[in-house]
Amino acid sequence: MREFEARVLRVEPGEAGRCGVVLDRTAFYPTSGGQPHDLGALGDLAVEDVQENEAGEVVHVVARAPAAATVRGVIDWPRRFDHMQQHTGQHLLSAAFVRLFNWPTASFHLGRDLCTIDLETGSLGPRQLQQAEELANQVIFEDRPVHVRFVPPGGELEKEGLRRSPARQGELRLIEIEEFDRCACGGTHVARTGQIGLVLLRGTEKLRGQARVEFVCGGRALAAARADYQHLQDAARLLTTGPAELPAVLRKQQEERRAADKARAQLLERLAELEAGVLLEEAETVGGRCLLVKVFEDAAADYLRLLAARLVQEPNVQLLLAAKSPAAAVVFAQSPGGPADMNALLRETVGALGGKGGGSRDFAQGALPNANRLEEALEAARRRLQES
């Protein structure tokens, strides 16, 4: 039902100046059971929310009270049909996991972009996901009818063969996908499985001993597949290859990157060794110790650490190094067992200028928010070392 007429029974004051309208009949679905509410209109009033109160009445939230005693309700059908596709698709997917692996669904959420089910299992692999997805889509392609019927209070539910025991009492609404699934549900559903179109799994996540499965159905599945295809085309164009060749091209690039990283590391080690010799000759002697203070205009933080590690291999060395670019990095270090606490020194001098960092007694590193204050930090640290 997409449109209907109804009498206004009463209008209640709501939050933020809104009104809650109760009708004698309605086709609007309230938020319930993991499914969001319908949207639409009552006459010229947009329905912003639909809730079920404690008395079981459906309350339509609108901006103001309807002017007439009778209103025409219009459901936002694209939204409703999308929810129907997602919800019946969830029934199919949950039933598939039960049939294949005996994994019940603990909860279901129908989100704006993605749907999720939480399965009562701690182990879920790619092959199992594929099997469940294939079975659910097989039932879609068979275009089986989806039946709705009601079981009166006190009905013999054990004879119904429900996928899971219902939480509520009283009259129950059953949704049955012919010869595949039957469970109690108050949500909106398609008339035949073919209307679901497609179930497409999007991802998984481990969650408190359960497995969360993300999926989309119908129009959402089509949009997701189209977006995936476009992303593949864009990536293939950037790498001047075809979508099918992307894995091989990326694997080759990863291998080349690893080889380049290894070569870079070897070159940096060699450079650090050579530069360490030059810097030691420039260092000043303070109290029998070799003290090196230097600010580099351009040096990566990893190179700064590598250089410091090489320098403190020599005995009786203390060093205060910094680099302005690409980041305002600082390294304070000394030969093992040296007299100063480099960690405390860095925290004091760098911290006083708004920086952060830390490390061990012999080797500490950090950063300043302003590269122009690096010399100030190193000069303060130098004075502390000279005074000690």
Last residue in a domain, options 43, 75, 107: 75
Given this model, what pLDDT does residue 159 score? Answer: 59
**Quick check: is 260 in a domain?**
no
Q: What's the confidence (pLDDT) of residue 167?
A: 67
How many domains is the chain partitioned into structurally? 3
Asked whether 6 and 24 are in contact (CB, 8 A), the reply is yes
CATH of the domain at 299: 3.10.310.40
- Please check whether residues 208 and 95 belong to one and the same domain: yes
What is the predicted pLDDT for the residue at 155?
63
Do 231 and 86 lie in one domain? The reply is yes
Residues 84, 200 share a domain: yes
pLDDT in tens, 5-37: 999 999 999 888 899 999 999 999 999 988 999
In a domain, 243, yes or no: no
Is residue 366 situated within a structural domain?
yes
> Is 153's pLDDT higher than 80?
no
Residue 136 belongs to a domain with what CATH number? 3.30.980.10
pLDDT of the residue at 172: 87
Mean pLDDT of 357-379: 94
Asked if residue 70 and residue 84 are part of one domain, the reply reads: no
- Residue 101 sits in the same domain as residue 221: yes
Owning domain of residue 185: 80-236
Burial grade of 18 (CB within 10 A; 0-12, 13-18, 19 or more): middle
- Say yes or no: 201 and 313 in one domain: no
Q: Are both 69 and 99 inside the same structural domain?
A: no
Residue 140 in this model has a pLDDT that exceeds 70: yes
pLDDT, tens digit, 9 for 90 and up, residues 41-84: 999 999 999 999 998 899 999 999 999 999 999 999 999 999 99
Would residue 241 count as lying in a domain? no
84 shares its domain with 71: no
Q: Are 117 and 53 members of one domain?
A: no
- The CATH code of the domain that includes 44 is 2.40.30.130
Residue recorded with tokens 């704006």? 112
Please check whether residue 127 lies inside any domain of the structure. Answer: yes
Is it the case that residue 93 has pLDDT exceeding 70?
A: yes
Q: What is the mean pLDDT of the chain?
A: 93
Query: Looking at residues 280-308, what average pLDDT do you find?
Result: 89
Residue where one domain finishes, among candidates 208, 236, 264 = 236
Phi and psi (nearest 5°) for 26?
-155, 155
Residue 240 predicted with pLDDT over 90: yes
pLDDT at 157: 64
Contacts of 48-57 with C-beta under 8 Å, sequence gap 24+, read 48/18, 51/20, 57/22
Quote the pTM value: 0.77
Residues 58 and 91 in one domain: no
Identify the bridge partners of residue 45 per DSSP, sorted by sequence position.
Answer: 42
- The answer to whether residues 46 and 64 belong to one domain is yes
